Structure 1
Amino acid sequence: MGIELTITHWIYLIFIGFIIGFMVFRKDTTLICMIGIFLISILTTKSLDASISSIFNGFIYAITELLSTILIISIIVAMSNILIATGINDIMIAPFTKLIRTPVLAYWVIGITMMIISLFFWPSPAVALMGAVLLPVALKVGLPAIGVAMAMNLFGHGIALSGDFIIQAAPKLTADAAGLPVNEVMAASVPLIVVMGLVTTVTAFLLLKKEMRKGYFPNITKKHFHYSSTGKKANLLTLPQKRFFALLIPLLFGMNVAAMFILKLQGSDATALIGGTSILIIVTISLISYKNKGLEKITNYFITGFQFGFKVFGPVIPIAAFFYLGGDGFSTIIGDFLPESSNGIVNDLSYSLAGSVPLNKGISMITVAISGIITGLDGSGFSGLSLIGSISGLFGAALNTSAATLTALGQVATIWVGGGTLIPWALIPAAAICNVDPFELARRNLVPVATGLIVTTIVALFLA
């Protein structure tokens, strides 16, 4: 099962350690990521000019991969800005304030709603739908923005995506690679996802509540709303107009949800539908609110949104470029310099780990979980699932134990890390909508997710 690792693999692994260390100590990782790309490139290409170019190529690749996310975040922020400036937002959130009256309710209501929507349409579209409406409500009742981001992220990119019970893309990938029926892997994943979800979300909530009691979070300021006023609310729209749009906008997004369900739109298709609807809302409200200045205001709101989007993603692009080297991005950024037998750096590392451990049930469980974590480091969450399924199937056959439980554990670990709740650019949608630092969100998720993975691995050991 083992695979021969090259100096490229080891350098990549060393730089992962450096990057994690820098993030833990709250140091900027941009320079270390660029050095890592350059060093790996010069070791493989033996060309100085190609290695210098690889840094720029890495940035281009990362931006290309992240562009759809940058766009939807920018557009949602632009829409939020105009809703706040016109006063429509105040009327829209009024009904929710009756349901969400405390920070505790805000955390759990937002999280559970996010999980339900994400099961049908995946988390990124769900974040866009949830953030614009429920973030202001949560802030008003005292839940800090980082708490909103944690709830959306852990319940959406964690629980919902790792189970993927409706769309079933994740369990199909792992089940096919393990040679198992999809329903068998899904059944085995249910107790693990329940344990992982409960441990992680409860731990995160208790830690957040402890910090709130100590007064670690400042009072809510306008910066959390991404907006600087472009006019007096009272002068832009009449009260009947505000009420009309406050009803129309949720109706439009409700129609979006219905269209996603009927037309079976998921992922990028669902995100595009929400983005297009948001653009129409911005255009319509701008023309009605600003009259003859509406055309200029449309552009201004888009500019503000894009400025915010690229400002948030700016620190993430270098680190994303480095981690994309570990997956499919290597050939685009540097070239075809890996061995022909290579499945990508992170997959090679996971496969090598699986091939070098003694075969017993306990070690195999730990190995599958660690392999899932490693393959998740590329920030995809899905790219390593086939490898995890293959390893789990082999371990299950060799040990005469439950391959389905092993496969489900690997799927949970891979998606929770890479899909994701710990990789900064994977959790950027939630961080950006809530206007919090994605690296700070990743740091706050670390203890709950690590605790959840440890407990879930122990439970899997007893279930296998």
Structure 2
Amino acid sequence: MGVDLTALHWIYVIFIFLIIGFMVMRRDTTLVSIMGIFLIAITATGSLSASISSIFTSFIFAITELLPTILVISIIVAMSKVLTDTGINDVMISPFSKLIRTPALAYWTIGILMMVISWFFWPSPAVALMGAVLLPVAIRVGLPALGVAMAMNLFGHGIALSGDFIIQGAPKLTSDAAGLPVSEVISASIPLVFIMGLVTTLTAFYFLKRDLKSGKLTNETGLTTTPTAEPSPQQLMLLSSNQKRLFSIFIPLVFALDVVVMSSLNLQGGDATALIGGTSIFILLLITMVSHRNKGLELATSYLIDGFQFGFKVFGAVIPIAAFFYLGDAGFTKIVGELLPKNSHGIVNDLGVALASVVPLTKEVSAVTLTIVGAITGLDGSGFSGISLVGSVAQIFSTAIGAGAATLTALGQIAAIWVGGGTLVPWALIPAAAICGVDPFELARRNLTPVTIGLVVTTIVAMFLI
């Protein structure tokens, strides 16, 4: 069914546990990640010089993979700074301030809006849209930036992406691998997505309320840097009141037009994010030139530099750990070379297949195994790269127990995407963390308990549906 596990696989597993342990203990993972890359490379190549080179190559690969996300976040942050400096931001968010008056309303409103937008365009562009407009409102009513990031994360990268009912990218991959119609997998996933989403978001909300009340969670918790500083009175005087009102109407209209264009041209994922990023650059340049006039040319560059500094400061800590986990999938051959064991489909996929091949086949064990296999394949931070394997394993298990193909497929898909699509793996949840200016590792720690409880409950429910 798969490939025999080698020293490469065991080194990878050991360092996964080491990295998770260091994260739980709130220690930095950079040294551990680099040691993991080096040991895997020297085990595969036997060459000291090639192994040392692989560390640098892995960083290049990680940056290349993450670059679109770094760029869009940097640009959004630069635009947000212009909006704050000119006072447009205050005028823009005033209508929302009247609707969102409590931390609870902020959490659920942001979460539900994020989920709806993510269903149609996937979470990355939704994070950019939501963060620019609603983050300041939520903070003003008492929901910390970490809470905003959790809401966007759990509802967008969790509920919306794991079900993927509209775009159907995830269920298409898993259903093809399982040999099932995509409609069957979607139907089977609806109750599981609903249970997972409800349990996770309610649990996260309970912990947020508890920690806010006890003072354990404050507006400063998890903050790495504030994307937009408070403007000086001189900066606020750059535009007249009428100009601010005009821009406060113009900017949401332009983003609404983006949504219409994304819908009409069927732009999704990276294409939709690129449209949001380009629009943000256009808004940044327009407002800078109108507000600063003669100094606009130089200050436009200055704002972009501020945005890029913020983006790379946030991503700097994540690149080494991302570089390590990319070795588990397609990154291995590009970083180390074509040195995987024969018949291997990548270290992560091999581990998933090996686990599936040694467990006894009952309904209960099948459900637990699919959840674990899904979670393992999500460790590379994609969420999508391993879900074809999940479909294949579900097909084998369902054939053996005589039932539950669609349910098992949907369960594995949900586990893979909740873990790797952006709620637990730090570099996958960076869009929400960076827009909110919080530490991605702290966000991952806050998400860990609610998501784990959600996966346990969802797995138990799946046992009864098989």
TM-score tier (shorter): over 0.9
Displacement after TM superposition at 1:391 (Å): 0.3
SS in 2 for 1:224: coil
1:194-343 map, 5 Å? 194-219=194-219, 223-227=225-229, 229=231, 232-343=234-345
Displacement after TM superposition at 1:227 (Å): 3.0
* Partners of 1:421 and 1:442 within 8 A in 2: yes
Cα distance in 2 for partners of 1:96, 1:258 equals 22
Partner of 2:170: 170
Stretches of structure 1 that go unaligned for 5 or more consecutive residues are none
Cα distance in 2 for partners of 1:420, 1:341 equals 29
Partner of 2:373: 371
Partner of 1:388: 390
Partner of 2:103: 103
Residue 145 in structure 1 maps to residue 145 in structure 2: yes
The one-letter code matched in structure 2 to 1:7 is A
The one-letter code matched in structure 1 to 2:305 is I
SS in 1 for 2:431: helix
Cα distance in 2 for partners of 1:89, 1:229 equals 11
The one-letter code matched in structure 1 to 2:182 is V
Partner of 2:31: 31
Partner of 2:408: 406
Cα distance in 2 for partners of 1:223, 1:347 equals 37
Going from structure 1 to structure 2, the CA distance change for 1:219 and 1:434 (only over 3 Å counts) comes to closer
Cα distance in 2 for partners of 1:245, 1:399 equals 61
* Partners of 1:224 and 1:435 within 8 A in 2: yes
Going from structure 1 to structure 2, the CA distance change for 1:405 and 1:277 (only over 3 Å counts) comes to same
The CA RMSD measured in Å over matched residues stands at 1.2
The one-letter code matched in structure 2 to 1:189 is S
Partner of 1:57: 57
Matched residue count: 464
Going from structure 1 to structure 2, the CA distance change for 1:73 and 1:191 (only over 3 Å counts) comes to same
Partner of 2:80: 80
Stretches of structure 2 that go unaligned for 5 or more consecutive residues are none
Partner of 2:429: 427
Partner of 2:358: 356
SS in 2 for 1:106: helix
The one-letter code matched in structure 1 to 2:243 is Q
Q: Deviations over 1:198-230 (max 9, x none)?
A: 000000000011000011234569953433647
* Partners of 1:145 and 1:224 within 8 A in 2: no
Cα distance in 1 for partners of 2:219, 2:173 equals 45
Q: Deviations over 1:251-291 (max 9, x none)?
A: 00000000000000000100000000000000000011001
Displacement after TM superposition at 1:359 (Å): 1.1
Going from structure 1 to structure 2, the CA distance change for 1:47 and 1:219 (only over 3 Å counts) comes to closer
SS in 2 for 1:426: coil
Cα distance in 2 for partners of 1:10, 1:408 equals 28
Partner of 1:120: 120
Going from structure 1 to structure 2, the CA distance change for 1:315 and 1:131 (only over 3 Å counts) comes to same
Cα distance in 1 for partners of 2:155, 2:308 equals 27
The one-letter code matched in structure 2 to 1:215 is G
SS in 2 for 1:419: helix
Q: Deviations over 1:404-428 (max 9, x none)?
A: 0000000000000000200000000
* Partners of 1:373 and 1:413 within 8 A in 2: yes
* Partners of 2:419 and 2:425 within 8 A in 1: yes
Displacement after TM superposition at 1:7 (Å): 0.4
SS in 1 for 2:308: helix
Cα distance in 1 for partners of 2:278, 2:233 equals 25
SS in 1 for 2:95: helix
The one-letter code matched in structure 1 to 2:327 is L
TM score, norm. by length of structure 1: 0.98
Cα distance in 2 for partners of 1:454, 1:223 equals 34
Q: Deviations over 1:77-117 (max 9, x none)?
A: 00000000000000000000111010000000000000000
SS in 1 for 2:128: helix
The one-letter code matched in structure 1 to 2:193 is I
Displacement after TM superposition at 1:235 (Å): 2.1
* Partners of 1:34 and 1:55 within 8 A in 2: yes
Cα distance in 2 for partners of 1:399, 1:222 equals 49
SS in 2 for 1:339: coil
Displacement after TM superposition at 1:361 (Å): 1.1
Partner of 1:14: 14
SS in 1 for 2:165: coil
Cα distance in 1 for partners of 2:147, 2:203 equals 12
* Partners of 1:2 and 1:356 within 8 A in 2: no
Cα distance in 2 for partners of 1:129, 1:422 equals 22
Partner of 2:155: 155
The one-letter code matched in structure 1 to 2:64 is T
Displacement after TM superposition at 1:232 (Å): 2.1
Going from structure 1 to structure 2, the CA distance change for 1:74 and 1:275 (only over 3 Å counts) comes to same
Cα distance in 2 for partners of 1:163, 1:337 equals 36
Cα distance in 2 for partners of 1:340, 1:3 equals 7
The one-letter code matched in structure 2 to 1:419 is G
SS in 1 for 2:237: helix
The one-letter code matched in structure 2 to 1:298 is A
* Partners of 1:96 and 1:137 within 8 A in 2: yes
Cα distance in 1 for partners of 2:459, 2:331 equals 30
TM score, norm. by length of structure 2: 0.98
Partner of 1:45: 45
SS in 1 for 2:226: helix
* Partners of 2:381 and 2:422 within 8 A in 1: yes
The one-letter code matched in structure 2 to 1:166 is I
The one-letter code matched in structure 2 to 1:82 is V
Cα distance in 1 for partners of 2:3, 2:236 equals 67
